[in-house]
Structures are given as C-alpha cells and as structure tokens.
Amino acid sequence: MTCRILLYSKVGNTLKVGEELAWQLGAQLHEIETPEVEDGFRARLRQKLSSVLSKQPQVYASDQPWASSDLLILGTPATSGRAAEPLRQWLATKPALPERVALLITSDEAQCPKSVIDDMSRLIGRTPVAVLYASKSELATGAWKSRLSPFLDHCVIRHRQSA
C-alpha cells in the first residue's frame, strides 16, 4: 500500500503526530512550507494589509503523484473551526487526490470541531475514510495514541488471500 502524508504544522504538534503515523504506516511524510514570517509591528501591518487585499502568501509542497497513492493523509492544526490556511491554499490549487483521503487534526480544543471535518470534506470533495484528532492536552500526555490503532485500521487496506 502506498501512503503519503502531507501536513502543515505551525508549532510542531501536527508534525509530531504525522511522524508517528509515517513510522507506523511506512509512509512518505511531506510538509507544506510557507515563506518566513517577519516579526514586529511593520511585518504584522503588512500581513494585515495583505489579508485585506486578499493577497495570499505562496505555499510550497513537494511535487508528488498524490493521486497514485492508495491513501493520502492530510494534516492540519485547527483554529476557529477551520483548517490552517496553508493547507486550504494548497487544496485550492485543485491537486489530483487519491480516492482514499484521511485527516489528521490537532487543536487546543478538547473535542474535534465538527466544522473542521466538514470544511475539509468540502475542500477534498469527499468524506474522509478516517479522522485522527489530537488536542493540545492529549499531545502533552500522549493520550491521543489510544486512538491510533482504530485510525490505522480504517486507513489500511488489507488484502486477503483466498486458499
């Protein structure tokens, strides 16, 4: 089974879970990169002005044959009930996706916001085959790992050999 993981991680939480998934599945892990963000008052002012003018920052993802994978796991932190903007921008380019797409979502909230799953389902054009959610507190304690096995069971295509 060919599996790829594409994620955006702002502070490293989504990447931490993505690395565990990549190890468990033997998957290729790819990150969406954004331009370096300057710090300071002028930089924040430029960012606000750009958002008002709807000028989106460029996002970079490796050029992969995403659609030829058996499974693609898309990872994103969630804020205000939405997926992170860099992943949304990548999906807006209408890349060819495989039939089976799963989601990895991290957030500060205790429960996975349903609006994020609905938002991502709309962006990918289908219902995900599985969703793995990890809250900030679960990441600190490792409690999210209890949901790892059921998530992997939904993701992995098992081929049965007939006798």
> Tokens standing for 83?
């997926």
Cα dihedral sign, 46-11-81-124: positive
Burial of 163 (0-12, 13-18, 19+ CB in 10 A): exposed
Give CA–CA dist 135/112, Å, rounded.
8
Q: What is the pLDDT of residue 162?
A: 45
Q: What is the pLDDT of residue 59?
A: 77
22-37 b/e with 16+ CB inside 10 Å = b? beebebebbbbebeee
Print pLDDT tens along the chain (163 aa): 789 999 999 899 999 999 999 999 999 999 998 876 555 666 666 655 665 555 555 777 888 899 999 999 999 999 888 999 999 999 988 999 999 999 999 999 999 989 999 999 999 999 999 999 999 999 999 999 999 999 999 988 654 444 4
Give CA–CA dist 50/85, Å, rounded.
14
Q: Which fold has domain 3-33+62-155?
A: Rossmann fold (3.40.50)
